[in-house]
Structure 1
Amino acid sequence: MATSTSSNLSARRASFLVASRIAKAKMPFAVGEELILPAVKAVCRELLGEAAAQKVAHVSLSPSTIPGGIDEIAEDIEAQLLERIKASPWYALQVDESISVENMAIMLVFVRYIFQEDVHTDMLCACLLPTNATAAERFKSLNDYMSGKLNWSFCVGICTDGAAAGWISGFTTRVKEVASECESTHYIIYGEMLVSQKLPPELNSVLQDVIKIINHIKVHALNSHLFAQLWEEMDAEHIHLLYTEVKWLSKGGLLTRVFELREVLHRFLVEKQSPMAAHFSDTEWLAKLAYLCDIVNLFNELSLSLQSRMTTVFKAADKVAAFKAKLEL
């Protein structure tokens, strides 16, 4: 019985390890049973013998097992994170909103807390939001998650992008009502984003043209399929175009991808008899697109470097504060 139990536990751990790798690689769940398990069995049979292959056969990698394993791993990680936050004397939240590939609004919540005398930043949760959600709905989504998990009274900061939209002020006001010690701040990189959005008309028109081209391809499944076939024929570097309704930091990748695929896009649009194909024959338009790629990527590098430096500054400040507290004791 001891041998059987040990073997079952090892097989279960192996199933979790594979499920974790499948999730990180964003592969279909069926790949475990259809590819990974047969491949591992063949390798074990060749190198270690039939007995080893039979042991591997006990590892469950079915399409119904993998999702359950991923869910259990996620729940365990979440439980460990919540325990760390609860052990911290305080924590701060950072909230941002994005759009998924399914065109769903998502509120991303990150948390900063003290663990082992150091400052840690982790993703806390992702709350799905209805279209045009109000401040009350956004706060309710976050509060529903926090209920029974974390105490609002230990929240000392709420950071948002500082946008002019009305939901920001209403959201932070509701947070302060339940967290009396909470202070609201804006992202340090938000000013750079505002500057980058004030593009000259001639450059902004190029950005809008790029978005129209991508939407023309992505909105129809047949167009996407035909474009993928064309990509294979021309041996282009990328097969997919990035989704367009994303935050500013992603537009650099979007523009760069279009510029790198300009020959493929031109041929595709010509074959579809689209008037947008003329853009890729216009040297002035292409020059502006290349210039815009450089500008946006520079803003991206600046924003990311600011974020990295601010994280370093905050960690140093927290260490100094902790050191001073020890001296006072």
Structure 2
Amino acid sequence: METKRRKVDDECRVFKEEWGFKYFFVQSQSKNGKAICVICNDTVAVMKEYNLRRHYETKHASAYSQFKDKQRTEKFETLSRSLSSQQNLFRKANSENESLTLVSMKVAYLLAKKGKPFMDGNIVKECMMEAVGVLCPEKVKLFKTISLSRNTVARRIDDIGNNILHQISGKTQRFTHYSIAMDESTDVSYTSQLLVFVRGVDDDLNVTQELASVNSMHGTTTGADIFKELQQTLTKYNLDWNRLQGVTIDGGRNMSGANIGVVGLIRKAFESAGATVPIFLHCIIHQQALCVKHVDISCVLKPVVSVVNFLRSRALNHRQFRSFLEEIESESVDVSYYTAVRWLRCGKVLLQFFKLRKEIKIFLAEKNHPETLLSDAEWLWKLAIFADVVTHVNNLNLKLQGKNNLICDLFEQINAFRAKLILLESHMNECNFSHFTCCEKFSTETDERFPTIFAVKVIPDLKLEFQKRFKIHMTATMATFQVSFKWK
């Protein structure tokens, strides 16, 4: 026997406008959309005419049954407007609270992004109060309620970090294939910092690239130590080892060692599990930096670093040097320290030193600390040559950086630079300074001949090193990617 279905649309669940006139009820604007009495503000759980009528008859019929027709309609509208005003007041207060919290979160995010102390939140609030007091004084009371104390900023940043971690974890769960990149370096406090980057793709070919973790290693930094940190990072994001397709590392022994290095330990783990061993790559940017270090520029770099240290290491010398540059209205206002760990620093230091060579010579003479090489035209030619060559390499380094670069794009940049080296070599032989701005400038200031024999040795050495590091390895890498990488 077929059961008789209830007519839900006719008797309940859907609010009818006539119930307002009959029983003084309106539908709530909240998500649940329950019926609410405009007289006592009570709600009815089940939006059914019987329930509304019973509520009205038992609680309000004796007082409101006297209202008829137009008078009843006006009374209902008055009560409805009163209820709406109360709801809007609470809704506005909730909206303001949400906005204040959002402002606090955004300020905390900016402080963390810029690496500022947490207590700077109070300074930001003072600046906001000064601006609001001038532009819109009526909003001063509202802005005073923004919480930017040190503890609040710390708590906000912690919440933002947890939220970002949650978002990344959600994305990594959808990875079908992923690769990792690791970089280990020592900071100013002699603490080893291991950075692990992850890049993956899901079934819809959406690529996600994020910094997965920063691990401080206070003890040893052997391959086993780094491998342990890597395991913890992958476990935190629930990343399956079987989906790992590529590992990018630097050339350190603790990373690239075939037996006890990270590469060897990962290979052993995959082979013991019977899984396909991922592709191991040496960071392209790191290899490019090693190519430059292969070229011996010590004859120029050591004197430059010595002079820069004299100018910068003593506060008095540095202040006097900067004042001297301001007095003569020099285009450059200072020289930078040379730091070997920063790959772009060498080119910047040489270029700054070349531009300020005359000013530095005069200043050193006034300080009774003359540098004879600054009067040697042959050495200045070498300075100009290396400044131009390293600047070209720095430009390549900047092109290799950035997000969402595919290996084929990087390979194209390397090939283009190798072709450029051939052009630069021919220009060196012809004393053509079209691509050598420092050499071109110095050629107009000296009668000393361009040291062609010395110059033509620099480019071939650099060209040979690029050929050794990239020709075989990059070709093999591209072929491996084409064979092993499969889209689902």
Shorter-chain TM-score above 0.5? yes
Matched, 1:159 2:248: yes
Q: Which residue of structure 2 aligns with residue 97 of structure 1?
A: 184
Match for 2:263 among 172, 179, 185? 172
Q: Which residue of structure 2 aligns with residue 183 of structure 1?
A: 279
Match for 1:22 among 85, 97, 111? 111
| Pair 42,270 (structure 1): closer, same or farther in 2 beyond 3 Å | same
2: CA distance, partners of 1:233 / 1:22: 36
RMSD: 3.8
Compute the displacement of 1:89 (Å): 0.8
1: CA distance, partners of 2:108 / 2:381: 46
1: CA distance, partners of 2:192 / 2:360: 29
Query: Quick check: 2:100–2:145 contact (8 Å CA) kept in 1?
Result: yes
1: CA distance, partners of 2:170 / 2:374: 55
Q: Which residue of structure 2 aligns with residue 305 of structure 1?
A: 399
Compute the displacement of 1:83 (Å): 1.7
Q: Which stretch of structure 1 is more off in the superposition, 102-111 or 305-314?
A: 305-314
1: CA distance, partners of 2:97 / 2:165: 25
2: CA distance, partners of 1:183 / 1:83: 25
Q: TM-score, normalised by structure 2?
A: 0.54
Q: Which residue type is aligned with residue 302 of structure 1?
A: L
The unaligned stretches of length 5 or more in structure 2 are 1-89, 411-477
Q: Which has the higher contact order (CA 8 A, sep 6+)?
A: 1
| Pair 64,91 (structure 1): closer, same or farther in 2 beyond 3 Å | same
Q: Which stretch of structure 1 is more off in the superposition, 240-249 or 84-93?
A: 240-249
Q: Which residue type is aligned with residue 100 of structure 1?
A: D
2: CA distance, partners of 1:20 / 1:238: 33
Matched, 1:46 2:130: no
Q: Which residue of structure 2 aligns with residue 120 of structure 1?
A: 208
| Pair 87,238 (structure 1): closer, same or farther in 2 beyond 3 Å | farther
Q: Deviations over 1:211-256 (max 9, x none)?
A: 44555677x6xx3576257436634745673561414344333433
Q: Secondary structure at the match of 2:238?
A: coil
Q: Which residue of structure 2 aligns with residue 255 of structure 1?
A: 350
The unaligned stretches of length 5 or more in structure 1 are none
Compute the displacement of 1:130 (Å): 4.3
Q: Which stretch of structure 1 is more off in the superposition, 14-23 or 246-255?
A: 246-255
Compute the displacement of 1:295 (Å): 1.6
Matched, 1:293 2:383: no
2: CA distance, partners of 1:90 / 1:145: 16
2: CA distance, partners of 1:23 / 1:232: 35
Match for 2:298 among 183, 204, 213? 204
Q: Which residue type is aligned with residue 290 of structure 1?
A: A
Percent of residue pairs bearing the same amino acid type? 26
Q: Deviations over 1:281-311 (max 9, x none)?
A: 5554444333322222212222443567962
Match for 1:10 among 85, 88, 99? 99
Q: Which residue of structure 1 aligns with residue 171 of structure 2?
A: 84
1: CA distance, partners of 2:324 / 2:223: 49
Q: Deviations over 1:157-187 (max 9, x none)?
A: 11123x2635422111222344543221223
Q: Which residue of structure 2 aligns with residue 37 of structure 1?
A: 125
Q: Which residue type is aligned with residue 172 of structure 1?
A: V
2: CA distance, partners of 1:167 / 1:287: 40
Query: Quick check: 1:206–1:289 contact (8 Å CA) kept in 2?
Result: yes
Match for 2:195 among 108, 113, 124? 108
Q: TM-score, normalised by structure 1?
A: 0.75
Match for 1:195 among 255, 273, 291? 291
| Aligned pairs (5 A) from 1:211-222 | 211-213=305-307
2: CA distance, partners of 1:6 / 1:212: 62
Q: Which residue of structure 2 aligns with residue 139 of structure 1?
A: 227
